[in-house]
């Protein structure tokens, strides 16, 4: 795995810096690498692959797409720092950041196109990559337009499944294609990854609620971001301001967070169901991801929470960028 990582970082650097006047911005962004969660999932889910160079190219494509989404998100969210460094938009300007993100998307497709000896699945890999980018863009657009209408839960799920889930599903789709050398199982891998992304986003949204006394100072609350608890509160109590309710009303906050935990349980159950259609290597990685990344939630015992038939009116807010 360590050899895979070294080759991955070399490949990411090579493609990301083939950017002429944007090379300096690319070097700055990649000087503080992320966790490489998605490429690690791909490597772990393909333990018997002999064509390591092609696998590394595919992993680099996934990470380049993820980094492109981060660079673009930082512009829209006006994020000043990322991984301990000034963001590209903050250091080089929004125009440079926008164009760097575009370059990274192109670099991802080039990485797949130049992957050696995978002609049988290369077209399917490119289609999966393209669809993932489109779904992530759709989720981001929905988040920005905030057209929740009357169903804020559906809005939240739609954004999370597309924006977070699409990119998390990609390594599972790629792994299925590499393992089987055809598209069998790729759709189940996509559905599984989308549900893992939804669960991961819900769990991340619940983290600030470990310290309710500090909720009023939380950036998401101040910016009226539609996180999972806000969506749940709006659904359960449609005639109150969800942000002030979550800050001030302990009993309502508890019911909202329990509803979120129920959503998380459902997403995990859905992801596990989809593994029955996947090869054993991918299914095993999914179960490991649940245990390692979602264990905080799964250790909790959640009681049933009553549902309400009414839904909130349109909420003037935007969802958290992830």
Q: What would the 3-class secondary structure string for 209-257 be?
A: HHCHHHHHHCHHHHCCECCHHHHHHHHHCCCCCHHHHHHHCHHHHHHHH
Neighbouring C-beta atoms of residue 128, cutoff 10 Å: 24
Average pLDDT over every residue of 162-186: 91
**pLDDT tens digits along 239-252:** 999 999 999 999 99
**pLDDT tens digits along 273-309:** 999 999 999 999 999 999 988 876 544 434 333 332 2
- pLDDT above 80 for 143: no
Average pLDDT over every residue of 17-28: 93
Confidence of residue 33 (pLDDT cuts 50, 70, 90): confident
Share of the chain above pLDDT 90, in %: 76
- pLDDT above 50 for 147: yes
User: What are the tokens at 147?
Assistant: 């057209």
Q: Which has the closest alpha carbon to 294: 168, 186, 153?
A: 168
- pLDDT above 80 for 312: no
Report how far residue 158's alpha carbon sits from residue 135's, in angstroms, rounded to the nearest whole number. Answer: 10
Coil vs helix vs strand at 147: coil
Average pLDDT over every residue of 229-238: 94
**pLDDT tens digits along 190-221:** 999 999 999 999 999 999 999 999 999 998 89
Q: Which residues contact 119 (CB under 8 A, 6 or more apart)?
A: none
Q: Which residues contact 125 (CB under 8 A, 6 or more apart)?
A: 58, 61, 112, 115, 118, 174, 177
Three-state DSSP string of 18-84: CCHHHHHHHHHHHCCCCCCHHHHHHHHCCCCCCCHHHHHHHHHHHHHHHHHHHHHHHHHHCCCEECC
For the chain, the maximum distance between any two Cα atoms, rounded to a whole number of angstroms, is 60
Which residue ranges form the domains of the chain, and what is each CATH number? Answer: 1-117 (1.10.600.10), 140-315 (1.10.600.10)
Q: Which residues contact 294 (CB under 8 A, 6 or more apart)?
A: 199, 200, 203, 264, 268
Report how far residue 298's alpha carbon sits from residue 120's, in angstroms, rounded to the nearest whole number. Answer: 40
Report how far residue 123's alpha carbon sits from residue 125's, in angstroms, rounded to the nearest whole number. Answer: 5
Confidence of residue 141 (pLDDT cuts 50, 70, 90): confident
Burial class (CB in 10 A: 0-12, 13-18, 19+), 58: buried
């Amino acid at each position: 795995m360590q050899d895979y990582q070294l080759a991955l970082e070399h490949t990411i650097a090579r493609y990301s810096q083939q950017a002429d006047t944007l090379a300096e911005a690319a070097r700055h962004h990649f000087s503080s690498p992320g966790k490489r969660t998605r490429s690690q999932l791909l490597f772990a889910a393909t333990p018997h692959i002999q064509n390591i160079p092609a696998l590394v190219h595919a992993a680099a494509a996934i990470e380049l797409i993820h980094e492109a989404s981060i660079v673009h998100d930082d512009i829209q969210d006006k994020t000043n720092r990322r991984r301990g460094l000034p963001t590209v938009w903050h250091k080089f300007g929004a125009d440079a950041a926008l164009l760097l993100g575009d370059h990274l998307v192109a670099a991802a497709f080039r990485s797949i196109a130049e992957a050696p000896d995978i002609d049988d699945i290369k077209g399917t890999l490119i289609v999966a990559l393209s669809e993932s980018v489109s779904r992530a863009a759709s989720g981001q657009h929905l988040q920005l337009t905030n057209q929740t209408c009357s169903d804020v839960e559906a809005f939240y799920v739609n954004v999370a499944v597309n924006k977070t889930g699409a990119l998390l599903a990609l390594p599972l789709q790629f792994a299925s294609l590499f393992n089987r050398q055809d598209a069998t199982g790729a759709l189940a891998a996509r559905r599984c990854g989308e549900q893992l992304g939804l669960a991961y986003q819900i769990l991340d949204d619940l983290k600030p609620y470990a310290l309710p006394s500090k909720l009023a100072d939380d950036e998401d609350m101040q910016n009226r971001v539609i996180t999972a608890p806000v969506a749940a509160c709006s659904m359960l109590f449609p005639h109150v301001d969800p942000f002030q309710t979550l800050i001030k009303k302990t009993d309502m906050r508890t019911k909202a967070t329990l509803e979120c935990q129920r959503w998380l349980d459902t997403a995990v159950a859905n992801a596990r169901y989809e593994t029955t259609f996947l090869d054993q290597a991918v299914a095993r990685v999914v179960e490991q991801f649940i245990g390692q990344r979602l264990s905080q939630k799964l250790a909790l015992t959640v009681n049933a929470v009553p549902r309400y038939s009414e839904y909130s009116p349109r909420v003037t807010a935007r969802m958290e960028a992830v």
